[in-house]
Amino acid sequence: MVLAAASTSELEAESPIHSGNGEFLMQLSIGTPGASFPAIMDTGSDLIWTQCKPCSQCYDQQTPIFDPKKSSSFTTLSCSSNLCMALPTSMCDSGGCEYLYTYGDYSSTQGVMATETFTFGDSGDSQGVSVPKVGFGCGQDNEGSGFSQGAGLVGLGRGPLSLVSQLGVPEFSYCLTSIDDSKTSKLLIGPQAIGNKTSSSAIITIPLIKNPSQPSFYYLPLEGISVGDTRLPIKKSTFSLQSDGSGGLIIDSGTTITYLEESAFDLVKKEFISQTKLSVDKSGTAGLDLCFTLPSGSAQVEVPKLVFHFEGADLDLPGDNYMIADSSVGLMCLAMGSSSGMSIFGNVQQQNMMVVHDLEKETLSFIPTQCDQL
């Protein structure tokens, strides 16, 4: 194992990622000796956590639950530590710093804050990179329906608790395969995350925006949307960050579909209905806002194109990144929904693109890439 230097500014690490059920999972290991740790990769939150023994409430996971007693590098964090103070909700007792962390879907994790050695790269890879003293939540009470594919979650947000902040690396990138693809792709951390990728002719680079009242999120300046050749009459302020910190659009690898502010989504939905020459399914069986009935047989279906107009660049999405067809039920659905307030650019819309976060230049880049061939 290559033990990372104390200074992590030049640290380079990578982790295999693969699609789960609406989420993407990264593979790493935790502890000494290392225990396999498949975790949901989430750019929309900060905390790193895994289920831990002893459990008061743990969900069923495919790998053994982490047992701190079996690791020689496990250390609990004190209440006066910076990471404990950075938690949105923490409690103190004789056992050290306890945390409660909740997500937008009301799921939560609760337990003890600790530090541990994390190893990146395949567990069978002798070139795995080990990083000591990474702060994480040892979750003993974990509740929510979305966690069960992994043993926990790795937050890649902008706050001090996240993996990228703790490693002190200003750049990372990931490539998400198609959601129904069983092959793996990569999360890259450090200078290799950018490498020579930004010289690609197909690259689209847009500025990242910070929101002081929601400092963990990666906000993008979305100015409008086109369906087919029609630029929708969406007010430019619809996706703007408001002075009270509400609104705006974030990019989030941990949310499946894209959610648009309600007035904008209604216009998108109306235009898709107008331009798609198929009948609208009213049954609601698919659980998405807009579905069309597919024609019988194997006829090709024409799908209107969808373009997101960001400040300084247009992102022309491939059809698979916004229309999900299921021939077994004869439906094709728009992978989008409506929200009130903040909008979210989800992971379906990010399939088969290298998504490069450059926190030094404060930019985010999309590069069309066949992610399962990396």
d(CA 171, CA 13): 11
Same domain, 230 and 165: no
Count of beta carbons in the 10 Å neighbourhood of residue 238: 20
Question: What residues make up the domain containing 225?
Answer: 204-368
Average pLDDT, the chain: 91
d(CA 145, CA 133): 30
State what percent of residues in the chain have pLDDT above 70.
94
**Residue whose C-alpha is closest to residue 159's, from 112, 106, 215, 91:** 215
Residue type, 36: S
Confidence band of 127 (pLDDT split at 50, 70, 90): low
Cis peptide before 207 (omega within 30 of 0): no
Strand partners, 42: 155
Is the pLDDT confidence value at 299 over 80? no
Helix (H) or strand (E) run with residue 249 in it: strand 249-251
234, 262 contact by CB (below 8 A): no
**Domain tally, the chain:** 2
Report the CATH number that the domain containing residue 45 is assigned in CATH. Answer: 2.40.70.10
Rounded to 5 degrees, what are φ and ψ at 265? -60, -40
Same domain, 152 and 23: yes
259, 346 contact by CB (below 8 A): yes
Last residue of a domain, one of 110, 145, 169: 169
Of the ranges 107-116, 135-144, 298-307, 313-322, which one carries the lowest mean pLDDT score? 298-307
Selecting among 46, 125, 252, 372, the annotated active-site residue is 252
Among this protein's residues, is 122 annotated catalytic? no
d(CA 129, CA 142): 28
Confidence band of 4 (pLDDT split at 50, 70, 90): very low
Note the Cα 151 to chain centre separation in Å: 16
Among this protein's residues, is 67 annotated catalytic? no
Query: Global pTM?
Result: 0.93
Last residue of a domain, one of 147, 169, 191: 169
Q: What confidence tens digit (pLDDT) does each residue in 179-224 have?
A: 989 999 999 999 888 876 666 788 999 999 999 999 999 999 999 9
Rounded to 5 degrees, what are φ and ψ at 24? -120, 135
352, 177 contact by CB (below 8 A): yes
Is the pLDDT confidence value at 123 over 50? no
In the numeric block, which tokens belong to residue 35?
Answer: 């225990």
CB under 8 Å to 362, separation ≥6 — which residues? 207, 208, 210
Confidence band of 327 (pLDDT split at 50, 70, 90): confident
pLDDT of 124: 47
d(CA 44, CA 217): 6
d(CA 339, CA 262): 5
Same domain, 44 and 156: yes
Selecting among 42, 46, 281, 358, the annotated active-site residue is 42
d(CA 274, CA 186): 39
pLDDT of 31: 96
Average pLDDT over residues 324-345: 93
Confidence band of 298 (pLDDT split at 50, 70, 90): low
Average pLDDT over residues 109-129: 82
CA atoms within 13 A on the CB side of 330: 11
Same domain, 225 and 356: yes
Count of beta carbons in the 10 Å neighbourhood of residue 225: 21
Same domain, 157 and 272: no
d(CA 81, CA 72): 21
Same domain, 161 and 84: yes
Asked if the structure places residue 198 within a domain, the reply is no
pLDDT of 9: 57
Average pLDDT over residues 278-305: 87
d(CA 132, CA 30): 10
